């Protein structure tokens, strides 16, 4: 089923609600599940995407297309909300799980009934972690300088070994001899297998926990 989505102007659990133009069904931006309307209960298919700086994008995708803002469009009105570490949600809510600060940012991962939150180090160097969710082995990449996060499926030939970042910032794995660009997933080896992206969501901890109360936390639960 193909549908056209548009912002509805409403919030549910302090998160954006979308509606499809064909039936008016309302979908949660976070879960992708229809919460009201003819398609209630239907879950949208998730596709990998990521956010980065313009400079990082152009460096890695020199032939990429840029969507420009139209006349009259402005910057986000939520800057003050982003800066206030104590303000949880537009209308204010409590952090239900103190294992992390409410506005700690996490990489949110889902597969089947398994849910995982990977905390982001906001002040350190770029990092690469190996995580397992629903039996799948993934590499999560985070660069705090450009606020770029990516999640990659581990190549089968590398599944039994840890990966790391080399001095040039490439993902390397000694077992399979692979080396990949952490932003594009392209193999540095001629004829090498490129990495396959895995869908994820960057979220505040309090929001991720609200939608996925049974979530695990990577490292130190």
Dihedral sign (CA 127, 131, 133, 139): positive
> What's the order of all strands across the beta sheet hosting 34-36?
5-12, 15-20, 26-28, 34-36
The whole-angstrom separation of Cα 117 and Cα 217 is: 5
Determine, yes or no, domain membership for 207.
yes
Residue range 140-162, pLDDT digits in tens: 999 999 999 999 999 877 766 67
pTM (predicted TM-score): 0.89
Res. 220: pLDDT tops 60: no
What is the helix (H) or strand (E) element at residue 16, kind and residue range? strand 15-20
Give just the sign of the alpha carbon dihedral 212, 215, 217, 221: positive
pLDDT surpassing 90 at residue 186? yes
Cα separation, 9 vs 132, in Å, equals: 36
Alpha-carbon gap, residue 138 to 159, rounded angstroms: 9
How many domains is the chain partitioned into structurally? 2
Strands 164-165 and 171-173: antiparallel
Instruction: Give a yes or no: residue 75 inside a domain.
Output: no
210 and 130 share a domain? yes
**Average of per-residue pLDDT across 190-215:** 92
CATH number where 127 lies: 2.102.10
Q: What is the pLDDT of residues 20-47, one digit of tens each?
A: 999 999 999 999 999 999 999 999 999 9
Q: Is residue 183 one of the residues assigned to a domain? A: yes
213: in domain = yes
* Inside any domain, residue 134: yes
Which two three-digit tokens encode residue 221?
Answer: 């639960």
- Percent pLDDT > 90 in the chain is 67
Tens digits of residue pLDDT in 88-111? 887 778 888 999 999 999 999 999
Residues 209 and 122 in one domain: yes
- The SS3 assignment for 83 reads helix
**Each residue of 139-168: b (16+ CB within 10 Å) or e?**
bbbbbeebbbbbbbbbbeebeeeebebeee
Q: How far is CA 1 from the centre of its chain?
A: 24
Does residue 191 form part of some domain? yes
Q: Is residue 56 in a domain?
A: no
Domain hosting residue 168, numbered range: 105-217
Residue 152 lies in a domain: yes
């Amino acid at each position: 089923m193909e549908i056209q989505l548009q912002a509805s102007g409403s919030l549910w659990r302090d998160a954006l609600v979308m509606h499809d133009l064909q039936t008016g069904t309302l979908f949660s931006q976070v879960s992708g599940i229809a919460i009201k309307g003819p398609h209630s209960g239907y879950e949208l298919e998730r596709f990998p995407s990521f956010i980065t700086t313009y400079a990082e994008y152009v460096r890695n995708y020199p032939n990429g297309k840029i969507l420009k803002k139209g006349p009259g469009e402005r910057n986000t009105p939520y800057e003050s909300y982003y800066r206030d570490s104590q303000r949880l949600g537009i209308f204010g809510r409590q952090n239900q799980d103190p294992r992390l600060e409410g506005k700690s940012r996490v990489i949110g991962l889902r597969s089947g009934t398994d849910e995982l939150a990977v905390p982001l180090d906001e002040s350190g160097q770029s990092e690469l972690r190996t995580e397992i969710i629903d039996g799948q082995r993934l590499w999560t990449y985070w660069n705090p300088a450009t606020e770029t996060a990516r999640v990659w499926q581990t190549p089968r030939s590398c599944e039994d070994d840890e990966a790391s970042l080399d001095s040039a910032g490439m993902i390397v794995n000694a077992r399979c001899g692979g080396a990949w660009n952490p932003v594009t997933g392209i193999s540095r080896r001629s004829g090498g297998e490129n990495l396959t992206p895995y869908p994820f969501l960057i979220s505040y901890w309090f929001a991720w926990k609200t939608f996925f109360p049974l979530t695990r936390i990577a490292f130190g639960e």
